[in-house]
Amino acid sequence: MTFSPRTMLRLLPLASALLTACAVHQPQGPGPSTTAPQWQQHQQEVAKVTHYQTRGAFAYLSDKQKVYARFNWQQTAPDRYRLLLTNPLGSTELQLDAQGNTVQLVDNKGKRYVSNDAEKMIAQLTGMDIPLANLRQWMMGLPGDASDYQLNSSYQLKSLNYSSNGQKWQVTIQDYDSKTTPALPANLELREGDQRIKLRMDSWTLQ
């Protein structure tokens, strides 16, 4: 599966709103210690959230392609989730269903693919390198496998550095949705080389 120029044009209107929402904030001084009890408590509260849904805007930017879409992420169990990418007309461009080690992807032509490696399959079919396993943690405001990370003044994850398979990801959470309990990220940006991934979470529904 590839994203055609026609697909790019369908998804393009989302670009300006998402890029504006994810404008890079100026660096600040060192945050609280990652051993602070407030941070430990926040992590425990977030880890208890195993059933949720979040909707928003997605952008993948690189020298090779630019993809803009709406996304819908539904987590129905710790090891079961569905990711939908849709265009402004509401048509599905990509559907990813994961349960345990089995992942199924359906493209915009209805063709199905099955794998036990979601990241590799997405890269092969779309050309997008997405660290999906850790992204699931980062979008919840957890460091995942990263050990080099910083907190904001509210004892929430602010930024991190993560290296894997020769890639070095820099992740920044630019603000949080205070309407949720616990507070969860509202804007997230990932950078690796010429690649940028932006997520704007417009809403969270926790169960």
Please tell us whether the domain made up of 5-20+35-206 is placed in CATH 1.10.10.10.
Answer: no
* 8 A C-beta contact, residue 55 and residue 42: no
Highest mean pLDDT among 16-30, 43-57, 76-90: 43-57
Tokens of 81: 């989730």
Domain range summary for the chain, segments of one domain joined by +: 5-20+35-206
The pLDDT assigned to 3 comes to: 52
Tokens of 174: 């630019």
CA distance 144 to 198: 18
- When pLDDT is cut at 50, 70 and 90, the band that residue 81 belongs to is very high
Q: The whole model's pTM is what?
A: 0.84
- When pLDDT is cut at 50, 70 and 90, the band that residue 150 belongs to is very high
What does R_g of the chain's alpha carbons equal in angstroms?
A: 17
* 8 A C-beta contact, residue 94 and residue 109: no
Any idea what DSSP says for residue 63?
S
CA distance 197 to 130: 8
Task: Please tell me whether residue 134 adopts helix, strand or coil conformation.
Answer: helix
Who wins on pLDDT, 124 or 18?
124
Convert the pLDDT of each residue in 41-77 to its tens digit: 999 999 999 999 999 999 999 999 999 999 999 999 9
Contacts of residue 95, defined as CB under 8 A and 6 or more positions apart, other chains included, come to 82, 83, 84, 85, 105, 106
| Mean pLDDT, residues 14-29 taken together | 49
- When pLDDT is cut at 50, 70 and 90, the band that residue 157 belongs to is very high
Written as one letter, the residue type at 46 is V
